[in-house]
Amino acid sequence: MEFNQKEPIYAQIIDDIKLKFMNGTYKPGQEIPSRRELAKNLGVNPNTIQRAYREMEDMNLIVTARGQGSFMTGDIAVLDQLREEALNATLRESVDMMRSFGKSNEEILLLVKTYLEKGSGQ
């Protein structure tokens, strides 16, 4: 994982784990790396990982069982909500960009329809 200088490392770690959960790399209820293991693998301070895990616990994204490890939530509603938020953010950014190019709603819909009909992105 490569970190950018624009946002805190702990936030980038959270985003990475969220993405891995949304794309199926991490399954609901799956154990994730320990704090020490992840700190070592990423080459970051263990306190940074601790902060990321604590925030993910507050978000109900992970559950930590003392002495057993940390696990992705088994609550599918959390996964569904994360995916919905990510899809909405991506859609909003795309539509905003098309609008900044002067495209109307009708033109945007036609562009999307044409894109899907061509089978692009497969």
What pLDDT digit, counting tens, does each position of 70-119 carry? 999 999 999 999 999 999 999 999 999 999 999 999 999 999 999 999 97
> Looking at domain 9-74, which CATH architecture does it have?
Orthogonal Bundle (1.10)
Per-residue model confidence as pLDDT tens digits over 56-69: 999 999 999 988 99
Phi, psi of 65 (to 5 degrees): -105, 115
Which pLDDT score is estimated for 119?
Answer: 77
Angle subtended at Cα 117 by Cα 112 and Cα 120, rounded to the nearest 5 degrees: 75
How far apart CA 120 and CA 41 sit, in angstroms, is 36
Could you tell me the two tokens for 28?
A: 């609901």
| Portion of the chain with pLDDT greater than 90, in percent | 93
Could you tell me the two tokens for 90?
A: 């991506």
How far apart CA 32 and CA 38 sit, in angstroms, is 9
Q: Where are the domains of the chain?
A: 9-74, 77-118
